Chain A
Amino acid sequence: MTRHPASFRDPAGYLFRENGQLLRAVQETYKPHFQKLIDSGLKAQLEQTGAMLPFEEFQANAKEWKVLRPQPLPFVSYPYEWSFTQLKQAALHTLHVQQAAMQCGMTLKDATAYNIQFLGNRPVFIDHLSFECLQPGKPWVAYRQFCEHFLAPLALMHYSKAHLLPMLQAWPDGLPLAVSVNLLPSKSRLKPGLAMHLHLHHKTAEKAVQPGAKPAEKLLKANALENLVQHLADTVNGLSWKPQATHWASYTDGLKDSYIQRKEQEVQRIASTVQPATALVLGANTGHFANLVAQSGAFTVALESDATCVEQLVQQNKHANLLPLVMDLAAPSPALGFNHAERNSLAQRTHADLVLALALIHHLAIARNIPLPQLAEWMATLGKELLIEWVPKEDERTQWLLANRSDVFQHYNRQAFEAAFSAHFSMESQAELADSGRVLYHFKHRS
Chain B
Amino acid sequence: MACKPSVRTLPIFEAMPAARKYIFLLLLGVLFAHPASAYIDPGSGSYLIQAILAGLLGVLYFFKGLRTRVMAFFATLFGRGNNKHQAEE
Q: Are chains A and B native binding partners rather than an unrelated pairing?
A: yes
Q: Which of B29, B47, B52 contacts A215 (CB 8 A)?
A: B47
Known: A217-B33, A219-B25. A144 touches B58 (CB 8 A): no
Which A residues are CB-close (under 8 A) to B51? 139, 218, 220
**A142 CB–B CB distance under 8 Å:** yes
Within 8 A of B (CB), among A17-47: 32-33, 35-36
> B44 at the A/B interface (Cβ < 8 Å)?
yes
Contact surface of A with B, Cβ cutoff 8 Å: 9-12, 32-33, 35-36, 105, 109-110, 133, 137, 139-145, 147, 196-197, 200-202, 204-210, 213-221, 223-224, 227-228, 230-231
Residue of A nearest to B33 (CB): A217
Contact (Cβ within 8 A) B3 A204: no
Size bin of chain B's contact surface: 20 to 34
- Is B49's CB under 8 angstroms from A215's CB? no
Interface residues of B in 1-57 (CB under 8 A from A): 1-4, 25-26, 29-30, 33-36, 38-40, 42-54, 56-57
Q: With contacts A36-B3, A144-B43 known, is A224 near B33, CB below 8 A?
A: no
Nearest chain A CB to B59 CB, angstrom units? 10
| A144-B54 in contact (CB<8A) | no
Q: Which of A110, A133, A140, A145 contacts B50 (CB 8 A)?
A: A140
Contact, CB under 8 Å: A221 / B58: yes
Which A residues are CB-close (under 8 A) to B50?
139-140, 143, 218, 220, 224, 228
Once A105-B4, A215-B43, A219-B26 are accepted as A-B contacts, the answer to whether A208 and B33 lie under 8 Å apart by CB is no
* B78 adjacent to chain A (CB < 8 Å): no
Assembly CA distance A97 to B18 (angstroms):
33
CB–CB A215/B58 < 8 A: no
The answer to whether B46 touches A200 (Cβ under 8 A) is no
Given that A220-B51, A231-B57 are known contacts, is A201 also in contact with B38, CB under 8 Å in the complex?
Answer: no
A selection of 25 A-B contacts at a CB cut-off of 8 Å is A11-B39, A35-B3, A109-B38, A133-B3, A139-B42, A139-B51, A196-B53, A200-B52, A201-B45, A201-B46, A204-B45, A204-B49, A208-B44, A210-B44, A213-B44, A214-B33, A215-B43, A216-B30, A217-B47, A218-B51, A219-B29, A220-B54, A221-B54, A221-B58, A228-B50
Considering the chains assembled together, what is the distance between the CA atoms of A213 and B44 in angstroms?
7
A-B residue pairs, 3 tightest by C-beta: A205-B45, A224-B54, A208-B45
Min Cβ gap A24→B in Å is 16
| Residues in B neighbouring A227, C-beta threshold 8 A | 54, 57-58, 60-61
Query: Known: A139-B42, A220-B54, A228-B57. Is A205-B29 also a contact (CB below 8 A)?
Result: no
Please give, as numbers and ranges, the residues of chain B lying within 8 Å of A217 by CB-CB distance.
29, 33-34, 36, 47
Once the chains bind, are A214 and B35 in contact (CB under 8 Å)? yes
For the complex with contacts A196-B53, A206-B45, A224-B54, 17 further pairs of A-B residues with Cβ separation under 8 Å are A32-B3, A33-B3, A110-B39, A110-B40, A139-B46, A143-B42, A204-B45, A204-B48, A214-B44, A215-B36, A215-B48, A217-B34, A218-B47, A221-B54, A228-B57, A231-B57, A231-B61
- Measured CB to CB, the nearest residue on chain B to A112 is B40
Complex CA distance for A202 and B49, rounded to whole angstroms? 9
Using Cβ atoms and an 8 Å threshold, which residues of chain A touch B58?
Answer: 221, 223-224, 227
Cβ distance B42 to chain A, nearest Cβ, rounded Å: 4
CB neighbours of B26 from chain A (8 A) = 219
Given contacts A109-B39, A144-B42, A215-B36, contact A205 B49 (CB under 8 A): yes
Contact with B33, one of A204, A206, A216 (Cβ below 8 angstroms): A216
Q: A216 near B48 (CB under 8 angstroms)?
A: yes
CB neighbours (8 Å) of A33 from chain B are 3
A205 and B57 form a contact (CB under 8 A): no
Of listed B3, B35, B48, B51, residue having the most chain A CB within 10 A: B3
Specify the chain A residue showing the minimal Cβ separation from B54: A224
Distance in Å from the Cβ of A94 to the closest Cβ of chain B?
14
Q: Is the CB of A141 within 8 A of B45?
A: no
- Is there an interface contact between A207 and B61, defined as CB atoms closer than 8 Å? no
Q: Which residue of B lies closest to A196 (CB)?
A: B53
A141–B48 contact, CB under 8 A?
Answer: no
Quick one: which of B48-84 are within 8 Å of A by CB? Answer: 48-54, 56-58, 60-61
Contact B46 A205 (CB under 8 A): yes
Q: Is the CB of B42 within 8 A of A141?
A: yes
Given contacts A139-B51, A227-B58, A209 and B44 within 8 Å (CB-CB): yes
Report the bound CA distance from A217 to B30 in whole Å.
Answer: 7
CB contacts (< 8 Å) of A224 on chain B: these are: 50, 53-54, 57-58
Which of A10, A105, A141, A145 is close to B36, meaning CB atoms less than 8 Å apart? A141
* Least CB distance, B21 to chain A, in whole angstroms: 13
In the assembled complex, the Cα of A36 lies from the Cα of B29 at a distance in Å of 24
- Please determine whether A32 and B47 come into contact, CB atoms closer than 8 angstroms: no
Distance between Cα atoms of A109 and B40 in the complex (Å):
8
Report the bound CA distance from A147 to B47 in whole Å: 13
